[in-house]
Structure 1
Amino acid sequence: MNLLKTLGRGVLATALALPLAAAGLTAKAPPAAASDNGLSIRPAMGWSSWSFVRRWPTEAKMKAQADALVSSGLKDKGYVYLNLDDFYQKCDANGFVVDQYGRWAIDEAKFPSGIKALADYVHSKGLKFGFYVTPGIAKNAVTRNTPIEGTSYRAKDIADTTRQEKNYNCKNMYYIDYSKPGSQEFVNSWAKQFADWGVDYLKIDGVGSHDIPDVRAWDKALRATGRPINYALSNNLAIADAPTWRQLANSWRTQGDVECYCGPGPNGSGHPLTNWSKITSRFTSAANWQQYAGPGGWNDLDSLQIGNGDQIGLTADQRRSHMTLWAMAASPLLIGGDLTDLNATDRAILGNERLIAVNQDGVAARRLVNSGNQQVWHKKEADGDHVIALFNTGTSGNQTVSVNWSQAGIVGAAAVTDLWSGQSGGVVNGSYSATLRPGETRLIRATPQAGSTTRYEAEGASYSAGSTVDSNHGGFSGSGFVNTANAAGAYVEWTVESATARDAALTLRYANGTAVVRPMDVVVNGTAVAANRAFGPTGAWTSWADATLTVPLKQGTNTVRATATTANGAPNLDYLDRG
Structure 2
Amino acid sequence: MRHLRAVLLALAGVLIAGAIPLLTAPPAAASGNGQSIRPAMGWSSWSFVRRWPTEDKIKAQADALVSSGLDRHGFVYVNLDDFYQKCDSNGFVVDSYGRWTVDSAKFPSGIKALADYVHSKGLKFGFYVTPGIAKNAVLKNTPIEGTSYHAADIADTSTLEKNYNCKNMYYIDYTKPGAQEFVNSWARQFASWGVDYLKIDGVGSQDIPDVRAWDKALRATGRPINYALSNNLAIADAPTWRSLANSWRTQGDVECYCGSGPNGSGYPLTDWSHVTTRFTSAANWQQYAGPGGWNDLDSLEIGNGDQAGLTADQRRSQFTLWSMAGAPLLLGTDLTQLDPVDAAMLTNDRLIAVDQDGYAAKRIVSSGVNQVWSKREDSGDYVVALFNTGTTGSSTATVDWSQVGFTGSGQVTDLWSGADKGTVADTYSATLRPGEARLIRVAPLGTRTVRYQAEQAGITSGSTVDTDHPGFTGTGFVNTANAAGAYVEWTVDSAAARNASVAIRYANGSTVGRPMDVTVNGTVVSANRAFNGTGSWDTWAASTLTVPLKAGANTIRVTATTANGAPNVDALDRS
- Taking structure 2 as the reference length, what is the TM-score of the superposition? 0.79
Instruction: Give CA deviations for 1:131-189 in whole Å, capped at 9, x if unaligned.
Output: 00000000000000000001000000000000110000000000000000000000000
Q: What letter matches 1:13 in structure 2?
A: V
> Structure 1 residues 268, 402: CA separation in 2 closer, same or farther (over 3 Å shift)?
same
CA distance in structure 2 between the aligned counterparts of 1:352 and 1:453, rounded to whole angstroms? 30
Show the counterpart of 2:204. 208
- Correspondence for 2:447 among 434, 449, 453: 453
Please state if 1:283 is matched with 2:279: yes
Aligned match of 2:499: 504
1:63 positional shift: 0.4
Tell me which of 347, 361, 374 is aligned to 1:378: 374
Q: Residue in 1 aligned with 2:171?
A: 175
Counterpart position of 2:344 = 348
Per the alignment, residue 237 of structure 2 pairs with 241
Rate the CA distance shift 1:265–1:524 in 2: closer, same or farther, 3 A.
Answer: farther
In the other structure, the counterpart of 1:218 is 214
Structure 1 position 63 matched with structure 2 position 64: no
Contact map agreement 1:45 1:333 (CA 8 A) in 2: yes
Q: Judging changes above 3 Å, is the alpha-carbon distance between structure 1 residues 528 and 346 closer, same or farther for their aligned structure 2 residues?
A: farther
- Distance change >3 Å, CA 145–CA 128, structure 1 → 2: same
| Counterpart contact for 2:269–2:308, Cα < 8 Å | yes
**Equivalent residue for 2:162, pick from 166, 187, 199:** 166
Measured after TM superposition, the shift of residue 337 of structure 1 is: 0.3
Structure 2 Cα separation of the partners of residues 558 and 270 of structure 1 = 59
Would the aligned equivalents of 1:455 and 1:578 in 2 still touch at CA under 8 Å? yes
Q: Which amino acid aligns with 2:257?
A: Y
- Which residue number in structure 2 is paired with residue 157 of structure 1? 153
Q: 1:405 to 1:94 in 2, by over 3 A?
A: same
Q: Which amino acid aligns with 2:215?
A: D
AA of the residue aligned to 1:11: A
- Would the aligned equivalents of 1:504 and 1:578 in 2 still touch at CA under 8 Å? no
Instruction: Name the counterpart of 2:565.
Output: none
* Shift in Å, 1:12: 3.1
Assess, with a 3 A threshold, how the Cα gap between structure 1 residues 552 and 9 changes in structure 2: closer, same or farther: farther
Residue 46 of structure 1, CA deviation: 0.1
Partner of 1:454, secondary structure, is: coil
2:108 is paired with a residue whose SS is coil
Aligned partner of 2:12: which letter? V
Q: Is the 8 A contact 1:27 1:294 kept in 2?
A: no
* Structure 1 residue 503: Cα displacement: 4.2
Partner of 1:483: none
Alpha-carbon contact 1:303-1:336 (below 8 Å) kept: yes
The residue aligned with 1:38 is: 34
How far 1:17 sits from its partner (Å)? 7.8
Counterpart residue identity of residue 202, structure 1: L
Q: CA deviation at 1:524?
A: 9.3
Alpha-carbon distance, 1:505 to partner: 4.9
1:404-415 counterparts in 2 under 5 A? 404-415=400-411
The one-character-per-residue Cα deviations of 1:382-416 (angstroms, maximum 9, x if unpaired) are 11111000000000111111111111112222111
Residue 4 of structure 2 corresponds to which residue in structure 1?
3
Q: Secondary structure at the match of 2:281?
A: helix
- Shift, 1:431, TM fit: 1.3
C-alpha contact 2:9 2:357 (8 A) present in aligned 1:
no
CA deviations on 1:93-118 (whole Å, 9 max, x unpaired) are 00000000000010000000000000
* Contact 2:127–2:199 (CA under 8 A) maintained in structure 1: yes
Q: 1:403 to 1:528 in 2, by over 3 A?
A: farther
**CA 1:422 to 1:17, structure 2 compared with 1: closer, same or farther past 3 Å?**
closer
Question: What RMSD in Å do the two structures reach over aligned CA positions?
Answer: 3.1
Deviation at 1:504, TM superposition (A): 3.3
1:259 to 255, 262, 282: 255
3-state SS of paired residue (2:363): strand
**Contact 1:10 1:383 survives alignment (8 Å):** no
User: Could you tell me how far apart the structure 2 residues matched to 1:5 and 1:105 are?
Assistant: 36
4+ long deviations beyond 6 Å: 14-18, 25-28, 523-526, 528-531, 556-559
Q: Is 1:314 matched with 2:315?
A: no
Deviation of 1:551 after TM superposition, in Å, equals: 4.1
Deviations along 1:335-394, whole A, 9 cap, x unmatched?
Answer: 000000011010011111000000000010000100000000001111111100000000
Counterpart of 1:295 in 2: which secondary structure?
coil
1:113 to 2:113 alignment: no
Decide whether aligned partners of structure 1 residues 557 and 268 sit closer, same or farther in structure 2, where only a CA change above 3 A counts: farther
1:429 Cα deviation from its structure 2 partner: 1.2
State the distance in 2 between where 1:422 and 1:30 align: 32
Q: Is the 8 A contact 1:10 1:385 kept in 2?
A: no
Residue correspondence of structure 1 range 513-524 to structure 2 within 5 A: none
| Aligned residues with identical type, % of pairs | 72
Q: How far does residue 530 in structure 1 lie from its aligned partner after superposition?
A: 12
Residues of 2 paired with 1:341 and 1:26: CA distance? Answer: 40
Report the AA paired with residue 407 of structure 1: Q
Pairing of 1:182-197 with structure 2 (within 5 A): 182-197=178-193
Aligned 8 A contact 1:415 1:446 in 2: yes
Question: What is aligned with 2:508?
Answer: none
2:418 is aligned, of 422, 437, 442, to 422
Q: More displaced, 2-11 or 204-213?
A: 2-11
Rounded Cα–Cα distance in structure 2 between residues aligned with 1:69 and 1:6: 19
Contact residue 282 and residue 301 of structure 1 kept, 8 A: yes
Q: Distance in 2 between matches of 1:11 and 1:100?
A: 47
State the 1:292 CA deviation.
Answer: 0.5
Give the Å deviation of 1:453. Answer: 2.6
